[in-house]
Protein backbone atom coordinates (compact mmCIF):
# COMPACT_ATOMS: atom_id res chain seq x y z
CA UNK A 1 0.00 0.00 0.00
CA UNK A 2 2.83 2.37 0.79
CA UNK A 3 4.43 1.53 -2.57
CA UNK A 4 1.20 2.36 -4.40
CA UNK A 5 0.89 5.69 -2.60
CA UNK A 6 4.50 6.53 -3.45
CA UNK A 7 4.07 5.92 -7.17
CA UNK A 8 0.74 7.77 -7.24
CA UNK A 9 2.34 10.76 -5.58
CA UNK A 10 5.34 10.62 -7.92
CA UNK A 11 3.06 10.50 -10.97
CA UNK A 12 1.10 13.48 -9.70
CA UNK A 13 4.35 15.43 -9.20
CA UNK A 14 5.58 14.64 -12.72
CA UNK A 15 2.25 15.64 -14.27
CA UNK A 16 2.02 18.88 -12.35
CA UNK A 17 5.56 19.96 -13.21
CA UNK A 18 5.15 19.11 -16.90
CA UNK A 19 1.89 21.06 -17.10
CA UNK A 20 3.63 24.24 -15.98
CA UNK A 21 6.91 23.71 -17.82
CA UNK A 22 8.11 26.45 -20.19
CA UNK A 23 6.71 26.01 -23.69
CA UNK A 24 8.35 26.78 -27.01
CA UNK A 25 4.96 28.15 -28.09
CA UNK A 26 2.27 29.59 -25.82
CA UNK A 27 -1.15 31.07 -26.58
CA UNK A 28 -3.47 33.85 -25.48
CA UNK A 29 -7.17 34.27 -26.23
CA UNK A 30 -10.10 36.51 -25.35
CA UNK A 31 -11.60 33.73 -23.23
CA UNK A 32 -8.30 32.70 -21.64
CA UNK A 33 -7.30 32.84 -17.99
CA UNK A 34 -3.92 33.93 -16.67
CA UNK A 35 -4.04 30.99 -14.28
CA UNK A 36 -4.06 28.58 -17.25
CA UNK A 37 -1.02 26.82 -18.69
CA UNK A 38 -1.10 28.99 -21.88
CA UNK A 39 -1.39 25.90 -24.07
CA UNK A 40 -3.35 25.79 -27.33
CA UNK A 41 -6.48 24.47 -25.63
CA UNK A 42 -5.81 26.20 -22.29
CA UNK A 43 -4.77 29.75 -23.29
CA UNK A 44 -3.85 32.62 -21.04
CA UNK A 45 -5.52 36.02 -21.15
CA UNK A 46 -2.53 38.38 -21.30
CA UNK A 47 0.82 38.56 -23.03
CA UNK A 48 2.53 39.15 -19.68
CA UNK A 49 1.18 35.92 -18.20
CA UNK A 50 2.06 33.98 -21.34
CA UNK A 51 5.65 35.25 -21.23
CA UNK A 52 6.07 33.65 -17.80
CA UNK A 53 5.20 30.27 -19.37
CA UNK A 54 7.30 30.74 -22.55
CA UNK A 55 10.78 29.34 -23.06
CA UNK A 56 13.64 31.53 -24.26
CA UNK A 57 13.39 32.12 -28.02
CA UNK A 58 9.80 30.86 -27.93
CA UNK A 59 6.62 32.35 -29.38
CA UNK A 60 3.45 33.84 -27.92
CA UNK A 61 0.54 33.54 -30.37
CA UNK A 62 -2.78 35.40 -30.15
CA UNK A 63 -5.66 33.13 -31.13
CA UNK A 64 -8.41 35.75 -31.59
CA UNK A 65 -9.11 39.48 -31.50
CA UNK A 66 -8.84 41.14 -28.09
CA UNK A 67 -6.75 43.48 -25.99
CA UNK A 68 -3.88 41.58 -24.36
CA UNK A 69 -2.35 44.14 -22.04
CA UNK A 70 0.97 45.92 -21.79
CA UNK A 71 4.15 43.91 -21.35
CA UNK A 72 7.73 44.37 -20.16
CA UNK A 73 9.66 41.78 -22.18
CA UNK A 74 12.54 40.29 -20.21
CA UNK A 75 13.42 37.23 -22.29
CA UNK A 76 14.10 36.60 -26.00
CA UNK A 77 10.83 35.74 -27.74
CA UNK A 78 8.35 36.58 -30.50
CA UNK A 79 4.83 37.93 -30.01
CA UNK A 80 2.70 37.09 -33.03
CA UNK A 81 -0.86 37.65 -34.18
CA UNK A 82 -1.96 35.89 -37.37
CA UNK A 83 -3.42 38.00 -40.17
CA UNK A 84 -7.08 38.65 -39.46
CA UNK A 85 -6.57 38.77 -35.69
CA UNK A 86 -6.70 42.20 -34.05
CA UNK A 87 -4.29 41.71 -31.14
CA UNK A 88 -4.23 45.04 -29.33
CA UNK A 89 -2.09 46.57 -26.61
CA UNK A 90 -3.29 49.83 -25.04
CA UNK A 91 -0.88 51.62 -22.74
CA UNK A 92 -2.05 54.10 -20.11
CA UNK A 93 1.34 55.02 -18.58
CA UNK A 94 5.02 54.51 -19.41
CA UNK A 95 5.64 52.07 -22.25
CA UNK A 96 3.03 49.91 -23.91
CA UNK A 97 5.89 47.49 -24.65
CA UNK A 98 9.26 47.75 -22.90
CA UNK A 99 12.12 45.51 -24.02
CA UNK A 100 14.83 44.63 -21.52
CA UNK A 101 16.58 41.45 -22.67
CA UNK A 102 20.16 40.22 -22.60
CA UNK A 103 23.05 41.62 -24.61
CA UNK A 104 22.88 38.79 -27.15
CA UNK A 105 19.11 38.27 -27.20
CA UNK A 106 16.46 39.38 -29.68
CA UNK A 107 12.73 40.14 -29.77
CA UNK A 108 10.22 40.07 -32.64
CA UNK A 109 6.77 41.73 -32.70
CA UNK A 110 4.42 40.88 -35.56
CA UNK A 111 0.96 42.12 -36.55
CA UNK A 112 0.15 43.95 -33.32
CA UNK A 113 -2.06 47.02 -32.81
CA UNK A 114 -0.41 49.25 -30.23
CA UNK A 115 -2.42 52.27 -29.06
CA UNK A 116 -1.99 54.98 -26.46
CA UNK A 117 -4.54 55.40 -23.73
CA UNK A 118 -2.28 58.04 -22.18
CA UNK A 119 1.10 56.29 -22.35
CA UNK A 120 3.85 58.45 -23.88
CA UNK A 121 5.75 55.61 -25.57
CA UNK A 122 4.64 52.70 -27.71
CA UNK A 123 7.68 50.41 -27.97
CA UNK A 124 10.84 51.23 -26.01
CA UNK A 125 13.91 49.17 -26.78
CA UNK A 126 16.24 49.46 -23.76
CA UNK A 127 18.54 46.42 -24.04
CA UNK A 128 19.11 43.52 -26.40
CA UNK A 129 20.99 42.67 -29.57
CA UNK A 130 18.08 42.85 -32.06
CA UNK A 131 14.50 44.00 -32.41
CA UNK A 132 12.19 43.18 -35.32
CA UNK A 133 8.89 45.05 -35.72
CA UNK A 134 6.81 43.64 -38.56
CA UNK A 135 3.39 44.62 -39.89
CA UNK A 136 2.28 46.56 -36.82
CA UNK A 137 0.10 49.65 -36.27
CA UNK A 138 1.33 52.10 -33.63
CA UNK A 139 -0.68 55.24 -32.88
CA UNK A 140 -1.29 58.09 -30.49
CA UNK A 141 1.98 58.18 -28.54
CA UNK A 142 4.60 60.88 -28.10
CA UNK A 143 7.22 58.41 -29.34
CA UNK A 144 5.85 55.52 -31.35
CA UNK A 145 9.04 53.44 -31.39
CA UNK A 146 11.73 54.62 -28.99
CA UNK A 147 15.12 53.08 -29.78
CA UNK A 148 17.53 53.86 -26.93
CA UNK A 149 19.48 50.63 -26.34
CA UNK A 150 22.41 50.65 -23.96
CA UNK A 151 23.88 47.70 -25.89
CA UNK A 152 25.08 47.38 -29.49
CA UNK A 153 21.98 46.50 -31.47
CA UNK A 154 20.33 46.01 -34.86
CA UNK A 155 16.71 46.98 -35.46
CA UNK A 156 14.42 46.34 -38.42
CA UNK A 157 11.00 47.97 -38.77
CA UNK A 158 9.06 46.75 -41.80
CA UNK A 159 5.57 47.14 -43.25
CA UNK A 160 4.40 49.19 -40.26
CA UNK A 161 1.99 52.12 -39.90
CA UNK A 162 2.77 54.83 -37.35
CA UNK A 163 0.27 57.65 -36.98
CA UNK A 164 -0.42 60.57 -34.68
CA UNK A 165 2.79 60.05 -32.70
CA UNK A 166 3.12 63.72 -31.87
CA UNK A 167 6.86 63.96 -31.13
CA UNK A 168 8.18 61.30 -33.51
CA UNK A 169 7.07 58.04 -35.04
CA UNK A 170 10.56 56.53 -34.66
CA UNK A 171 13.34 57.89 -32.42
CA UNK A 172 16.90 56.59 -32.88
CA UNK A 173 19.26 57.60 -30.09
CA UNK A 174 22.02 55.44 -28.62
CA UNK A 175 25.61 55.99 -27.55
CA UNK A 176 26.28 52.38 -28.59
CA UNK A 177 26.55 50.96 -32.10
CA UNK A 178 22.93 51.08 -33.29
CA UNK A 179 21.90 50.20 -36.84
CA UNK A 180 18.29 50.65 -37.91
CA UNK A 181 16.48 49.60 -41.09
CA UNK A 182 13.05 51.10 -41.84
CA UNK A 183 11.34 49.63 -44.91
CA UNK A 184 7.84 49.96 -46.36
CA UNK A 185 6.58 52.04 -43.43
CA UNK A 186 4.06 54.90 -43.29
CA UNK A 187 4.31 57.75 -40.79
CA UNK A 188 1.31 60.07 -40.76
CA UNK A 189 -0.03 63.15 -38.97
CA UNK A 190 2.40 63.24 -36.07
CA UNK A 191 5.54 65.26 -35.37
CA UNK A 192 8.72 63.89 -36.92
CA UNK A 193 8.80 60.71 -38.97
CA UNK A 194 12.23 59.15 -38.38
CA UNK A 195 14.26 61.28 -35.96
CA UNK A 196 17.85 60.11 -35.47
CA UNK A 197 20.03 61.73 -32.81
CA UNK A 198 22.75 59.05 -32.91
CA UNK A 199 23.16 55.88 -34.97
CA UNK A 200 23.10 54.55 -38.52
CA UNK A 201 19.72 54.53 -40.25
CA UNK A 202 18.58 53.27 -43.65
CA UNK A 203 15.04 54.21 -44.68
CA UNK A 204 13.56 52.79 -47.89
CA UNK A 205 10.20 52.66 -49.66
CA UNK A 206 8.60 54.68 -46.87
CA UNK A 207 6.47 57.83 -46.51
CA UNK A 208 6.16 60.63 -43.98
CA UNK A 209 3.11 62.84 -44.40
CA UNK A 210 1.28 65.56 -42.53
CA UNK A 211 3.68 65.98 -39.60
CA UNK A 212 4.68 69.14 -37.77
CA UNK A 213 8.42 68.32 -37.82
CA UNK A 214 10.76 66.63 -40.28
CA UNK A 215 9.95 63.58 -42.35
CA UNK A 216 13.45 62.10 -42.11
CA UNK A 217 16.01 63.80 -39.88
CA UNK A 218 19.66 63.34 -38.99
CA UNK A 219 19.25 65.55 -35.97
CA UNK A 220 22.87 66.23 -35.05
CA UNK A 221 25.35 63.51 -34.64
CA UNK A 222 26.96 61.27 -35.05
CA UNK A 223 24.22 60.17 -37.48
CA UNK A 224 24.54 58.57 -40.90
CA UNK A 225 21.23 58.23 -42.73
CA UNK A 226 20.28 56.83 -46.13
CA UNK A 227 16.90 57.74 -47.62
CA UNK A 228 16.06 55.54 -50.62
CA UNK A 229 12.82 55.64 -52.65
CA UNK A 230 10.93 57.63 -50.01
CA UNK A 231 8.44 60.51 -49.98
CA UNK A 232 8.09 63.31 -47.43
CA UNK A 233 5.06 65.56 -47.89
CA UNK A 234 3.10 68.22 -45.98
CA UNK A 235 5.80 68.40 -43.31
CA UNK A 236 7.66 71.39 -41.91
CA UNK A 237 10.87 69.86 -43.37
CA UNK A 238 11.04 66.92 -45.73
CA UNK A 239 14.62 65.71 -45.13
CA UNK A 240 16.92 67.35 -42.57
CA UNK A 241 20.65 67.11 -41.83
CA UNK A 242 21.94 69.10 -38.86
CA UNK A 243 25.55 69.61 -37.75
CA UNK A 244 27.18 66.23 -37.21
CA UNK A 245 24.66 64.52 -39.45
CA UNK A 246 25.17 63.04 -42.92
CA UNK A 247 22.27 62.15 -45.22
CA UNK A 248 22.34 60.40 -48.58
CA UNK A 249 19.11 60.73 -50.57
CA UNK A 250 18.42 58.71 -53.72
CA UNK A 251 15.32 58.36 -55.90
CA UNK A 252 13.09 60.20 -53.43
CA UNK A 253 10.63 63.11 -53.42
CA UNK A 254 9.79 66.01 -51.12
CA UNK A 255 6.41 67.52 -51.92
CA UNK A 256 4.47 70.45 -50.44
CA UNK A 257 6.66 71.01 -47.38
CA UNK A 258 7.89 74.30 -45.97
CA UNK A 259 11.47 73.23 -46.79
CA UNK A 260 12.07 70.16 -48.93
CA UNK A 261 15.71 69.19 -48.37
CA UNK A 262 17.43 71.13 -45.58
CA UNK A 263 21.20 70.93 -44.91
CA UNK A 264 21.21 72.90 -41.67
CA UNK A 265 24.89 72.68 -40.79
CA UNK A 266 25.04 69.05 -41.87
CA UNK A 267 26.05 67.20 -45.04
CA UNK A 268 23.59 66.07 -47.67
CA UNK A 269 23.97 64.24 -50.97
CA UNK A 270 20.88 64.23 -53.17
CA UNK A 271 20.63 62.46 -56.51
CA UNK A 272 17.88 61.46 -58.91
CA UNK A 273 15.27 63.03 -56.66
CA UNK A 274 12.43 65.57 -56.82
CA UNK A 275 11.66 68.74 -54.86
CA UNK A 276 8.31 70.24 -55.87
CA UNK A 277 5.58 72.36 -54.35
CA UNK A 278 7.60 73.36 -51.31
CA UNK A 279 8.25 76.90 -50.11
CA UNK A 280 11.98 76.23 -50.61
CA UNK A 281 12.95 73.16 -52.57
CA UNK A 282 16.51 72.78 -51.27
CA UNK A 283 18.02 74.99 -48.55
CA UNK A 284 21.72 74.75 -47.72
CA UNK A 285 22.17 76.73 -44.51
CA UNK A 286 25.72 76.56 -43.13
CA UNK A 287 25.87 73.02 -44.50
CA UNK A 288 27.30 71.25 -47.53
CA UNK A 289 25.24 69.64 -50.27
CA UNK A 290 25.84 67.95 -53.59
CA UNK A 291 22.76 67.94 -55.81
CA UNK A 292 22.86 65.70 -58.88
CA UNK A 293 20.32 64.83 -61.57
CA UNK A 294 17.37 66.21 -59.63
CA UNK A 295 14.16 67.95 -60.72
CA UNK A 296 13.53 71.08 -58.65
CA UNK A 297 10.32 72.71 -59.81
CA UNK A 298 7.25 74.68 -58.73
CA UNK A 299 8.63 75.75 -55.36
CA UNK A 300 7.04 79.02 -54.31
CA UNK A 301 10.14 80.90 -53.09
CA UNK A 302 13.43 79.22 -54.00
CA UNK A 303 14.37 76.21 -56.05
CA UNK A 304 17.82 76.08 -54.43
CA UNK A 305 18.90 78.48 -51.71
CA UNK A 306 22.44 78.61 -50.27
CA UNK A 307 22.87 80.79 -47.19
CA UNK A 308 24.93 81.42 -44.06
CA UNK A 309 28.19 80.37 -45.75
CA UNK A 310 26.76 77.10 -46.97
CA UNK A 311 28.21 75.35 -50.02
CA UNK A 312 26.35 73.56 -52.80
CA UNK A 313 27.53 71.68 -55.87
CA UNK A 314 24.98 71.50 -58.71
CA UNK A 315 25.36 68.81 -61.38
CA UNK A 316 22.91 67.98 -64.21
CA UNK A 317 19.78 69.30 -62.51
CA UNK A 318 16.57 70.70 -63.96
CA UNK A 319 15.55 73.82 -62.02
CA UNK A 320 12.42 75.42 -63.38
CA UNK A 321 9.14 77.21 -62.57
CA UNK A 322 10.28 78.29 -59.11
CA UNK A 323 10.04 81.92 -58.01
CA UNK A 324 13.86 82.08 -57.90
CA UNK A 325 15.81 79.24 -59.49
CA UNK A 326 19.09 79.44 -57.54
CA UNK A 327 19.85 81.97 -54.80
CA UNK A 328 23.29 82.07 -53.24
CA UNK A 329 23.65 85.65 -52.04
CA UNK A 330 24.84 84.38 -48.63
CA UNK A 331 26.62 81.19 -49.66
CA UNK A 332 28.50 79.48 -52.45
CA UNK A 333 27.04 77.49 -55.32
CA UNK A 334 29.17 75.91 -58.02
CA UNK A 335 28.29 74.30 -61.31
CA UNK A 336 30.16 73.17 -64.40
CA UNK A 337 27.37 74.44 -66.63
CA UNK A 338 25.35 71.29 -67.13
CA UNK A 339 22.19 72.37 -65.28
CA UNK A 340 18.97 73.37 -67.02
CA UNK A 341 17.92 76.50 -65.12
CA UNK A 342 15.12 78.18 -67.01
CA UNK A 343 11.64 79.65 -66.84
CA UNK A 344 11.81 80.58 -63.17
CA UNK A 345 9.39 83.40 -62.36
CA UNK A 346 11.50 86.23 -60.89
CA UNK A 347 15.01 85.22 -61.83
CA UNK A 348 16.90 82.09 -62.78
CA UNK A 349 20.08 82.78 -60.80
CA UNK A 350 20.78 85.31 -58.04
CA UNK A 351 24.28 84.72 -56.74
CA UNK A 352 26.91 86.92 -55.14
CA UNK A 353 29.36 84.07 -54.46
CA UNK A 354 30.45 81.13 -56.52
CA UNK A 355 29.51 80.37 -60.08
CA UNK A 356 26.33 78.90 -61.45
CA UNK A 357 26.43 78.45 -65.19
CA UNK A 358 23.10 78.08 -66.95
CA UNK A 359 23.20 75.38 -69.62
pLDDT digits (tens, 9 = 90+) for 32-46: 999 999 999 999 999
**Mean of pLDDT values over 129-143:** 98
pLDDT beyond 80 at 353: no
Q: What is the structure's pLDDT at 271?
A: 98
Q: Which of 20-24, 56-60, 76-80, 322-326 is predicted with the least confidence, judged by mean pLDDT?
A: 20-24
Please, is 239 exposed, middle or buried when counting C-beta atoms within 10 Å of its C-beta (0-12, 13-18, 19+)?
A: buried
pLDDT tens digits for range 71-126: 999 999 999 999 999 999 999 999 999 999 999 999 999 999 999 999 999 999 99
Q: The domain 93-355 belongs to what CATH superfamily? A: Single-stranded right-handed beta-helix, Pectin lyase-like (2.160.20.10)
Q: What is the structure's pLDDT at 359?
A: 56
Q: What is the structure's pLDDT at 358?
A: 61
Residue ranges per domain, the chain?
Answer: 93-355
* Mean pLDDT score of the chain: 93
pLDDT beyond 60 at 162: yes
Q: What is the structure's pLDDT at 357?
A: 62
Residues whose CB is less than 8 angstroms from the CB of residue 136 and which lie 6 or more positions away in sequence, other chains included: 109, 110, 111, 112, 113, 114, 160, 161
CB 151 within 8 A of CB 127: yes
pLDDT beyond 50 at 15: no
Residues whose CB is less than 8 angstroms from the CB of residue 120 and which lie 6 or more positions away in sequence, other chains included: 94, 141, 142, 143
Q: What is the structure's pLDDT at 337?
A: 83
**Element (DSSP H or E) covering residue 8:** helix 2-19
- Alpha carbon of 63 to those of 38, 82, 138, 189: distances in Å? 11, 8, 20, 32
Q: What is the structure's pLDDT at 48?
A: 98
The Cα 214–Cα 228 span in angstroms is 16
The Cα 103–Cα 10 span in angstroms is 39
**Mean of pLDDT values over 241-261:** 97
Q: What is the DSSP letter of 44?
A: B
pLDDT tens digits for range 178-237: 999 999 999 999 999 999 999 999 999 999 999 999 999 999 879 999 999 999 999 999
Q: Which of 29-38, 46-55, 348-357 is predicted with the least confidence, judged by mean pLDDT?
A: 348-357
- Alpha carbon of 120 to those of 40, 70, 101, 197, 209: distances in Å? 34, 13, 21, 19, 21
**Mean of pLDDT values over 275-280:** 98
pLDDT level of residue 356 (50, 70, 90 thresholds)? confident
The Cα 316–Cα 212 span in angstroms is 32
The Cα 98–Cα 74 span in angstroms is 9
Q: What is the structure's pLDDT at 267?
A: 97
**Mean of pLDDT values over 131-138:** 98
pLDDT level of residue 8 (50, 70, 90 thresholds)? very low
**Mean of pLDDT values over 257-286:** 98
pLDDT beyond 90 at 22: no
The Cα 160–Cα 328 span in angstroms is 40
Amino acid sequence: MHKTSFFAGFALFVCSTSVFAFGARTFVASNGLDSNTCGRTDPCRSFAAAMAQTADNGEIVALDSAGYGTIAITKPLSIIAPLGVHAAITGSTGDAIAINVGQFQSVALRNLYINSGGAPRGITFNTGSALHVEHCVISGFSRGINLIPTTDANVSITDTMLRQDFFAAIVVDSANALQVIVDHCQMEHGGNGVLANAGKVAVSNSTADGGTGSGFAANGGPVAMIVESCTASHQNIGVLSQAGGSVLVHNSAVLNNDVGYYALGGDMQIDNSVASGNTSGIDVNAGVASITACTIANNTTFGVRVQNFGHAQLIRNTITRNNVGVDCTEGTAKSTGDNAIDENITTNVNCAFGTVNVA
